[in-house]
Chain A
Amino acid sequence: MSAQHTLTIQTRHEAVAVERLLQVTRYRGFTLAGLELKPLADVSGLLITLSVVSDKPISLLVNQLNKLYDVLNLELHQAEAGALRA
């Protein structure tokens, strides 16, 4: 049963930080459902909202993303349990 999850992630201010997020998301088998980003007010980092869909537990992705050096903070914004119909 697929579920959509939204993560709010603060990273270092580097394009490669976004590449890493997307690479891990793809490799760990999560489908991208939304991506928004903007620099923090003091330009020290990026604030990213990442939405993914998967039938895997979201903890698998959260644990992997949390290991990224560029990820400074990560919050599982909401875990909508509802199934997405194809």
Chain B
Amino acid sequence: MTGAELVVKLLTEHGVHSVFGYPGGAIMPIYDALYQSPVKHYLCRHEQGGGFSAIGYARASGQTGVCLATSGPGATNLITALADALLDSVPVVAITGQVSQAVAGTDAFQEVDVLGLSLTCTKHSFYVRDVADLADTLREAFALAQSGRPGPVLVDIPKDVQLAQVDYQPLHLTATTAAPDCSGLATQIAAARTLLQQAKKPMAYIGGGVHMADALPELNAFLAATGMPSVTTLKAMGSVEKTNPLYLGMLGMHGTQAANLAVQQTDLLVCLGARFDDRVTGNLKKFAPEAKVIHIDIDPAEINKLRFAEVAMLGDLKALLPAMTASGNYADWQTHCAMLKAQHGWRYDHPGERIYAPLLLKQLSERMPDNSVVSCDVGQHQMWVAQHMRFNSPRNHLSSGGLGTMGFGLPAAIGAKISRPQDTSVLVTGDGSFMMNVQELATIKRFRLPVKIIVIDNQRLGMVKQWQQLFFAGRYSETDLSDNPDFVSLAAAFAIPGHSISHKDEVESALDAMFSWPGPYLLHVRIDETDNVWPLVPPGAANHDMMTDLPQWEE
């Protein structure tokens, strides 16, 4: 077979049934091999869309997402998605075509040094020189994408390698999935247990690493056994069981007041698969100032990177959480945390007739089917999704965290729908972000993907506008989008029906209409451009110094 046929063979060997991509000269042999192959190719309308769909596919399912692009502009268009996958630790394999080696390094047509470009935005990248190495390289790429801390891996394949002849040697699986072992960590485990027994005010700070370690049952058992209150990062929302009374929500810049205040008071911060990101800590020096830290991660480079840990453990949370379960007397602290939570509940009794996005999202959360995957874009609407929707798994909340990439949402929702066809895929996007990958409506049209799109339209780049209002003296430089297109007509051009609402009494029937329609649907929601996201920890401030507009209290 040819190298190109071998690529397709290896995709099937790895259980890859769906790939996202866009063809071009240097990858034509692979596209030829895909033609009538068992691997289903989803034609995106921009390689960035293909990359984000692969991410959505991966994040919604836990499987590795695969995207394809041609050399030069095809590959450069993938870069943003690779960076997004790197910062959010998403297993993705990107396969790019490259010019033939005979002309490599001559500034050939559509030649770009993709290996060089990818260095800073992949976990690793390969350039395949010899077709004899192709199979091993691809197998290594799939293994790397999923191993340890997951991430994107790129494989750049010159056209001559794709065309060369090679034999397929099936992989003789010596599948020994060793049970996670933490016997080497006995000293640290004992130290962690002692800290847990001595603590009066412990707090679990839960990141995306927990669900990626497949350790959600162990996490919830640990929280139940210790009685420890908990907070999550953006990526970990949905990790803690909805019934847990001591779960205080998301912490950080737009976290809940209860979460931020409690973390500032804790005497023992138990950091599980999280990385002290600046959006989480606010002013790092003033973050959880009273706390000793237990930090568990799979990535050695995260330990002591930003915050010293009294006890650090490098290993598998699935084994470590049960091993370190120990408890002290936290009764007063539990009461205190429950009180903070009650005191600072959200308030939805917004005056007037117009639509208040937080309330709409709460209604959406209550009305959508339980199995729904919600993808969102970046901005105020993204933070409202995190604050006002509840998820029963982190796989049901896809949000671009580390890179904060506008344009993530629509293609991610497409990838989510393809990886979980039985489940409902909902997109909550902003009028700015939606336009960044709006071409993917054509992908929805072609495959009749029943994605439910909600455009929260404030006619602004709202999050930037909010900062201009608060920190740049109201000088609204380039954040006005009041000449937005008519989104419902735009959807109609892609054969997607839609409806526009602007009054709060229209919300429930509009949501019901959207969910009862069998196909894709766009709900355009007009909101007031003056609505802002609260609370907000201003840049440089400690997390207890939150700015609040409306008090958050019990519904």
Interface residues, chain A, with chain B CB atoms under 8 Å away? 16, 19-20, 23, 27, 57, 59-60, 63-64, 66-69
With A63-B301, A67-B301 known to touch, is A16 a contact of B120 (CB < 8 Å)? no
B304 within 8 A of A: yes
Give the docked Cα–Cα distance between A20 and B115 (Å): 11
- 4 shortest A-B CB distances, which residue pairs? A63-B301, A69-B124, A63-B300, A64-B301
Contacting B119 at CB < 8 Å: which of A19, A59, A67? Answer: A19
With A69-B124, A69-B144 known to touch, is A23 a contact of B300 (CB < 8 Å)? no
Chain A residues with Cβ under 8 A from B144's Cβ? 69
Chain A residues with Cβ under 8 A from B115's Cβ? 16
27 A-B residue pairings within 8 Å (CB atoms): A16-B115, A16-B116, A16-B119, A16-B127, A19-B116, A19-B119, A23-B119, A23-B120, A27-B120, A57-B304, A59-B304, A60-B301, A60-B305, A63-B300, A63-B301, A63-B303, A63-B305, A64-B301, A66-B300, A66-B301, A67-B299, A67-B300, A67-B301, A68-B124, A69-B123, A69-B124, A69-B144
Give the docked Cα–Cα distance between A30 and B123 (Å): 20
CB distance from B117 to the nearest CB of A (A): 11
Chain A residues with Cβ under 8 A from B123's Cβ? 69
Q: Of residues B116, B299, B305, which shows the largest number of chain A Cβ atoms within 10 Å of its Cβ?
A: B305
Interface set, chain B 85-139, CB cutoff 8 A to A: 115-116, 119-120, 123-124, 127
Closest B residue to A23 by beta carbon equals B119
Closest A residue to B127 by beta carbon equals A16
Given known contacts A63-B300, A67-B299, what 14 new A-B pairs fall within 8 Å (CB)?
A16-B119, A16-B127, A19-B119, A23-B119, A23-B120, A60-B305, A63-B303, A66-B300, A66-B301, A67-B301, A68-B124, A69-B123, A69-B124, A69-B144
CB distance from A23 to the nearest CB of B (A): 6
Give the docked Cα–Cα distance between A66 and B299 (Å): 11
CB distance from A71 to the nearest CB of B (A): 11
Give the docked Cα–Cα distance between A63 and B312 (Å): 14
Give the docked Cα–Cα distance between A57 and B301 (Å): 12
Give the docked Cα–Cα distance between A64 and B304 (Å): 12
Chain A residues with Cβ under 8 A from B124's Cβ? 68-69
Chain B residues with Cβ under 8 A from A19's Cβ? 116, 119
Give the docked Cα–Cα distance between A66 and B123 (Å): 12
Chain B residues with Cβ under 8 A from A64's Cβ? 301
Q: Of residues A19, A64, A66, A69, which shows the largest number of chain B Cβ atoms within 10 Å of its Cβ?
A: A69
- What 0/1 pattern do residues 213 to 225 of B give for CB contact below 8 A with A? 0000000000000
Interface set, chain B 283-306, CB cutoff 8 A to A: 299-301, 303-305
Chain B residues with Cβ under 8 A from A63's Cβ? 300-301, 303, 305
Chain A residues with Cβ under 8 A from B120's Cβ? 23, 27
CB distance from B397 to the nearest CB of A (A): 28
- What 0/1 pattern do residues 126 to 160 of B give for CB contact below 8 A with A? 01000000000000000010000000000000000
CB distance from A29 to the nearest CB of B (A): 12
Closest A residue to B120 by beta carbon equals A23
Chain A residues with Cβ under 8 A from B127's Cβ? 16
Give the docked Cα–Cα distance between A66 and B304 (Å): 15
Give the docked Cα–Cα distance between A23 and B116 (Å): 10
Give the docked Cα–Cα distance between A20 and B119 (Å): 7
Q: Of residues B124, B299, B301, which shows the largest number of chain A Cβ atoms within 10 Å of its Cβ?
A: B301
Give the docked Cα–Cα distance between A59 and B301 (Å): 9
Chain A residues with Cβ under 8 A from B303's Cβ? 63
CB distance from B313 to the nearest CB of A (A): 15
Chain B residues with Cβ under 8 A from A23's Cβ? 119-120
Interface set, chain B 200-224, CB cutoff 8 A to A: none
Chain B residues with Cβ under 8 A from A59's Cβ? 304
CB distance from B496 to the nearest CB of A (A): 42
Chain B residues with Cβ under 8 A from A68's Cβ? 124
Chain A residues with Cβ under 8 A from B119's Cβ? 16, 19-20, 23
CB distance from A15 to the nearest CB of B (A): 10
Closest A residue to B306 by beta carbon equals A60
Chain A residues with Cβ under 8 A from B299's Cβ? 67
Give the docked Cα–Cα distance between A63 and B299 (Å): 9
Give the docked Cα–Cα distance between A20 and B127 (Å): 14
Chain A residues with Cβ under 8 A from B116's Cβ? 16, 19
Closest A residue to B115 by beta carbon equals A16
Give the docked Cα–Cα distance between A80 and B68 (Å): 47
Give the docked Cα–Cα distance between A67 and B144 (Å): 11
Chain A residues with Cβ under 8 A from B304's Cβ? 57, 59
Chain B residues with Cβ under 8 A from A60's Cβ? 301, 305
CB distance from B119 to the nearest CB of A (A): 6
Closest A residue to B124 by beta carbon equals A69
CB distance from B348 to the nearest CB of A (A): 44
Closest A residue to B301 by beta carbon equals A63
CB distance from B314 to the nearest CB of A (A): 10
CB distance from A76 to the nearest CB of B (A): 14
